[in-house]
Amino acid sequence: MWGSKGLGGFNQGDLAEELDDDQIHAVLGLFGSDVAAYAPRSRAAVIGINRTGLTGISDLERRYTRFYLDANRASAHGNDAARNDTVAARFDALFPEARQPATLHALADHDLRLLWRAASQAAGSAPRPDLAETALSVFEVTERRGIIDRQDVLKLRGILLAGRRFEQARRFTAAHPEAGLTTLPAFDDPLTNKAPAATVWRMNADGSRLTRTAIDLEPAQVLVTAGCHFSADAAEDITADPVLGPVFARHAHWLVSTPGVESIDAVRDWNRRFPEAPAEMIHDRGEWSVLPTWSMPEFHVVRGGKVIETVKGWPRSPASNRRPLIDALHRAGLLDQPSAEPTPL
């Protein structure tokens, strides 16, 4: 991604898997020393692929490049559901060998790693049972080759959680003690299949239990799509704000993605840091069609099951969105005195 001052963002995955630390810094140094400061740590030695026999670019690597480009384009256009469908469809079309055990086992290590990355991305984008099974099959072959690391184990557990295979994820965690994964909470679902349209997983105080809870979207309220460090900035500022803090404590839901897509450990940390603005993990992205995209942070004022106004972003500057947010809350009837102005943050 390019910005006004040059390189504004980059995917760390290829650099970390393919290059050693010196090579990663050399590549990023081409874009300036400030960019090189964001160099990821190399995973190549830990994963341990033997690259001495690689000659040129394989057919699977060319297809992986096409998949990567198509997934990026899908992320830039349309809503989340359309993007996920596109990523899943492109995986299905480009990697038939992922569902052919004999072909899968015959792949060279480098191609197998690329296939695992594509399979895990597809399964993480669209929680289809068949995609999760495919990712699990590719992971198992990759694990038997000894070309995985802790990040791969964590990724596969996330896929199982995103597919709501909670007990399977628990068994998988127990089977990989060397990865040092944290203990999963208990999942309590009193709603089963009788739930209303929109539900979340609420974490108890010590982070040991998640309980599925329905959210009534009829009353006026604020839904915050959260999960990034800018969201944490917003939570810190808003909970300390004498005008916004009380309104958000009564009427806001700080929503993050589903278990597995969003880190359960990150939610534990968030809730310890912001007990007055606890994060709630959505149960199923499909239940939240009222929010077609999940940009972070965005503040959606909802009434009658529909978004009536949205304030985007939380820049920490004199031109922040504090004033627009106060005005939006007033128009929704959630704030009586929008003119109250405390000392600026």
Q: Tell me the per-residue pLDDT of 165-220, one tens digit each, with 9 for 90 and over.
A: 999 999 999 999 999 999 999 999 999 777 678 999 999 999 999 999 999 999 99
What value, to the nearest 5°, has the Cα angle with vertex 178 and ends 177 and 179?
Answer: 90
Q: Which amino acid is at 154?
A: L
Residue 46 CB coordination number (10 Å):
14
CB pairs under 8 A, 24+ apart, for 29-36?
31/6, 31/7, 32/6, 32/7, 35/6, 35/7
53: Cβ–Cβ under 8 A, 6 or more apart, which residues? 108
Model confidence at 47: pLDDT above 90: yes
Count of beta carbons in the 10 Å neighbourhood of residue 274:
18
The pLDDT tens digits for 154-164 are 999 999 999 99
Predicted local distance difference test score (pLDDT) of residue 127: 77
User: Phi and psi for 162 in degrees, rounded to 5?
Assistant: -60, -30
pLDDT of residue 343: 44
What letters, b where the CB count within 10 A reaches 16 and e where it falls short, cover 155-190?
A: bbbbbbbbbbbbeebbebbeebeebebeebbebebe
Alpha helices in 163-283, H assignment, sequence order: 166-175, 229-240, 244-251, 264-273
Reference 268, options 313, 229, 210, 316; nearest CA is 210
Confidence at residue 344, expressed as pLDDT on a 0 to 100 scale: 47
- Which phi and psi angles does 332 have, rounded to 5°? -85, -5
Tokens of 129: 């049972």
pLDDT tens, 287-345?
Answer: 999 998 888 999 999 999 999 999 999 988 765 789 999 999 999 999 986 555 554 44
Q: Which one, of 170, 200, 198, lies nearest residue 186 by Cα?
A: 170
Rounded to whole angstroms, how far apart are CA atoms 141 and 122? Answer: 18
37-51: average pLDDT: 91
Write out the two tokens for 169.
């994820």
In this predicted structure, what is the pLDDT of residue 92? 96
Mean pLDDT of the chain: 91
* Residue 341, pLDDT score: 54
Predicted pLDDT at 88: 94
Q: pLDDT exceeding 70 applies to what percent of the chain?
A: 96
Bond preceding residue 297 cis, omega within 30 of 0: yes
> What's residue 80's pLDDT?
80
| Mean pLDDT value of segment 109-126 | 94
**Are 282 and 258 in contact, with CB atoms under 8 Å apart?**
yes
What is the pLDDT, as a whole number, of residue 318?
Answer: 64
Does residue 3 have a pLDDT over 80? no
Q: What are phi and psi of 96, to 5 degrees?
A: -65, -30
**pLDDT of res. 195:** 66
Question: Residue range 28-41: average pLDDT?
Answer: 90
Helices 109-125 and 129-145: angle between axes, nearest 10 degrees: 150
pLDDT at residue number 134: 97
Q: What is the model's pLDDT at position 197?
A: 83
Count of all residues that appear for the chain in the document? 345
